[in-house]
Amino acid sequence: MRDRNFLAENNAKPIWHPMAHPAEMRAQPPRIVMKGEGVHVTDIDGKTVIDAVGGLWNVNLGYSCDPIKQAIADQLSALPYYSGFRGTSSGPSIELAYELTEWFKPEGMVRAFFTSGGSDSVETALRLARQYWKIKGQADRTKFLALKKGYHGTHFGGASVNGNANFRRNYEPMLPGVFHIPAPSTYRNPFNETDPAKLAQLCAAAMEEEIAFQGADTIAAFIMEPVLGAGGVIVPPDSFMKLAREICDRHGILMIADEVVTGFGRTGAWSGSRLWGVKPDMMTMAKAITSGYFPLGATLIGEQVTEAFEADATTFGSIGHGYTYSGHPVGCAAGIAALAETRRLKLDENAAARGKDLAQALAALKAKHPLVGDVRGKGLMAALELVADRDSKKPADKKTMAKVADAAYEAGVMLRVSGNNLILSPPLILTSLDVKAIAEGIDAGLSAAG
C-alpha cells in the first residue's frame, strides 16, 4: 500500500462514500482506519479507540479472530472461487447451508440461498415471495407491507420496503405496491401512546386496516426487522412481532424477518425471531455471518415456501435469480469458521449480559445529560436519541451530533451518528470493562456538547 501522505491526500477524493454527500466528505475527510485488534481499531495517526460500532453491526467476533482468518487463507489456497449456479457447488457452500439450517431449525428454516450481502438477501426474499404466490396460483399477490422507519438495504426492492424517506426520495419512483404501517416506537409514534402493549395493539390494528384496504389477496409478504436497527434501534413491544405473525397467518401473508443485524446473537438471542418467539417464513441474514471478514449473505427459507417450490411441476418453481458470488467458497469457509466461534464463545449469552451492563450505563448517562432524550436497546444493539429539548423532543442538530461523536473519539470511543441517534453495536466479545470504557467515552462526548 502507498504511504500515509498519499492516503491522507486522496482521502474522499477518488472515492465516493455510501450514505454521504461527496462534497461534505471532501470538506471533512473521514477517519482512515488502518488496523483492528480485539474490540479496538487504530487510525492512520496511530490513535486506538474502542469500536462501539462493531464495523457496521457486523464484526461480532472482533478483529482478531484467527480461525476465520485461517479458514479464509486455507480456502483461498484450495479454491478461491467457483460458481454456485446450476451445475456446480463448492464444498463450503454445502457445509454452511447445512449449518445454517441446523442452527435456525427452531425458526423452521430448511433451505439456504446464498447472496453477497444484506441487500441481496432482502431482494432474494422479496422475489421468492412473489414467485411463491405464482406457484400457488395466486399471481395477484404481489404487494409488500413493511414498517415505517424500517431499513432493508438499498436495492430497488429493499429501498421500496424501506421506511425512511432519506433512503428513498432521491431514487423514486420506487417499486409500486408497497405500503407502510407505523413503526412500533414508544418514543415517537402517531398515536402518542407510551404503553408498549397498547402501542402494539394500535400498530397491529393499523396493519389490519391496510390489509383490508389493499385486499389481503393482493399482498405477498410483510417484512420487518425484529428490532429496527438503522431506523434508530427501535425495540418493538414484546407482543408486536407475534401479533404481526398472527395477522399474516389470518390473511395468508408470508412473513419475512430481516435478521441482517439481529441474526447470530446481537439481541441476546440467536435471532430476533427467536427472541420474540416467532417463526417467520423467510429470514434474511448477512453481516455477522462472517463477522464482516468476507461479504456474504443468505436468505433462509421455511418449510411452507420450500414445499411449494420443490413440489412444483411447472416452470414457475425454477429460481431465475442469483448472484455470481452466491455460495462463494471463501465466504462460506469464513462463515463456517465464524459461526463455530460464535457458538463456542456463546456470544448470545455475552450479548445479553453485557447488554444489561450497557443499558444500565446508558440510563445513567440519560439521567446526567439533558441532551439525551431516549435510550433504547436490546442485547448489544443500542441507541441514544439526542434532543435539543426533552419536552418538544426536537432532534439535536447535525453540529451537536458531530461534536459528541468527535469528543467521544478523542476520549477513545468510535461512535456512529445516524440522524439524531448515536448508534451502538459493538463486537459481541465485549467485556464489562469495555462497556465502562464506552460509557465514559460517550459521557465525555455529551459533556463536550451539552
Provide, rounded to whole angstroms, the least separation between the CB of residue 266 and ligand PLP: 11
List 55, 229, 232, 373, residue binding ligand PLP (CB under 6 A): 229
By CB under 6 A, tell whether 348 contacts ligand PLP: no
By CB under 6 A, tell whether 122 contacts ligand PLP: yes
By CB under 6 A, tell whether 204 contacts ligand PLP: no
Site stretch for ligand PLP (CB under 6 A), options 146-154, 189-197, 237-245, 322-330: 146-154
Q: Is the peptide bond before 173 cis (omega within 30 degrees of 0)?
A: yes
- Residue 364: CA count within 13 A, CB half-sphere: 12
The H or E element that residue 178 is part of is: strand 178-181
* Helices 196-214, 240-251: crossing angle, 10 deg rounding: 20
By CB under 6 A, tell whether 151 contacts ligand PLP: yes
Q: Which amino acid would we find at residue 345?
A: L
List 36, 54, 84, 117, residue binding ligand PLP (CB under 6 A): 117
> Torsions phi, psi of 72, nearest 5?
-65, -45
User: For residues 152 and 124, what is the distance between their CA atoms, to the nearest angstrom?
Assistant: 12
By CB under 6 A, tell whether 153 contacts ligand PLP: yes
By CB under 6 A, tell whether 230 contacts ligand PLP: yes
By CB under 6 A, tell whether 280 contacts ligand PLP: no
Site stretch for ligand PLP (CB under 6 A), options 131-139, 149-157, 179-187, 364-372: 149-157
By CB under 6 A, tell whether 327 contacts ligand PLP: no
Of 96, 31, 25, the C-alpha closest to 408 is: 31
User: For residues 373 and 24, what is the distance between their CA atoms, to the nearest angstrom?
Assistant: 27
Of 385, 395, 424, 37, the C-alpha closest to 186 is: 385
- Calculate the alpha carbon distances from 437 to 162, 312, 408, 441 in Å: 34, 56, 10, 6
Q: Which amino acid would we find at residue 290?
A: T
Provide, rounded to whole angstroms, the least separation between the CB of residue 156 and ligand PLP: 13
By CB under 6 A, tell whether 119 contacts ligand PLP: yes
201 vs 291, beta carbon nearer ligand PLP: 291
- Calculate the alpha carbon distances from 426 to 84, 266, 291, 376, 396 in Å: 33, 9, 12, 15, 23
Residues in 239-258 at the binding interface with ligand PLP, rule: CB under 6 A: 258
* # binding residues, ligand PLP (CB under 6 A): 14
By CB under 6 A, tell whether 118 contacts ligand PLP: yes
Beta bridge partners of 73: none
234 vs 339, beta carbon nearer ligand PLP: 234
List 152, 274, 328, 416, residue binding ligand PLP (CB under 6 A): 152
Provide, rounded to whole angstroms, the least separation between the CB of residue 117 and ligand PLP: 3
The H or E element that residue 290 is part of is: none
By CB under 6 A, tell whether 115 contacts ligand PLP: no
The H or E element that residue 222 is part of is: strand 219-224
184 vs 445, beta carbon nearer ligand PLP: 184
* Chain contacts with ligand PLP (rule: CB under 6 A): 117-119, 122, 151-153, 225, 229-230, 258, 260-261, 286
